[in-house]
């Protein structure tokens, strides 16, 4: 619940102001993002709150698209080639609680890779608006 409160605070205050590619650099550029995504997906799969949602997922494809998305949001030299979030999550009946579980797992993954709090906060704040496209129930 502590992480949920932090996310709410971030949304209320707005995202931190950082240089254009400071988040990308802070995440360790493309190699760092790939490592974070690997850890993140492993955490998601093991998380009893959301793991069942990834049972039939094409994990290599999921990791590739997440890495692209994080790279773009972080200001890196990438292009997201995946589908729209609303299209991907349509019919999955994802709840707000499951969305926040996913956010917690991402934060844990970033912490495990030693990502600075201000970098974590900026990425999470940039991802937060996707909630309206992901939560369908």
Q: Is residue 49 part of a domain?
A: yes
| Domain range enclosing 68 | 20-134
Does residue 9 fall inside a structural domain? no
pLDDT tens digits for 81-134?
Answer: 988 887 778 767 788 899 899 999 999 999 999 999 999 999 999 988 888 878
Domain count across the chain:
1
Angle between helices 117-127 and 59-73 (to 10 degrees): 110
Residue 25 domain-assigned (yes or no): yes
On whether residue 15 sits in a domain, the answer given is: no
Q: Is residue 78 part of a domain?
A: yes
CATH number at residue 112: 1.10.490.10
Q: DSSP 3-state helix, strand, coil percentages of the chain (rounded to 5)?
A: 70, 0, 30
Only one residue has tokens 């201000």, namely 118
In a domain, 10, yes or no: no
DSSP state of 9: H
On whether the pTM is more than 0.85, the answer is no
Angstrom distance (rounded) from CA 99 to CA 87: 16
Residue 4 lies in a domain: no
Q: Name, in order, each residue with C-beta under 8 angstroms of 6's C-beta and a sequence gap of 6 or more.
A: 121
């Amino acid at each position: 619940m502590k992480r949920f409160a932090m996310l709410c605070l971030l949304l209320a205050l707005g995202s931190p102001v950082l240089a254009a590619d400071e988040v990308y650099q802070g995440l360790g550029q493309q190699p760092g993002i790939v490592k974070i995504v690997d850890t993140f997906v492993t955490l998601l799969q093991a998380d009893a709150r959301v793991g069942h949602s990834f049972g039939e997922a094409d994990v290599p494809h999921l990791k590739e698209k997440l890495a692209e998305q994080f790279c773009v949001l972080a200001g890196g030299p990438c292009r997201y080639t995946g589908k729209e979030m609303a299209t991907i999550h349509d019919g999955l009946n994802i709840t707000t609680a499951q969305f926040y579980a996913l956010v917690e797992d991402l934060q844990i993954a970033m912490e495990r890779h030693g990502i600075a709090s201000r970098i974590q906060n900026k990425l999470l704040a940039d991802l937060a608006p996707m909630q309206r496209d992901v939560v369908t129930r």
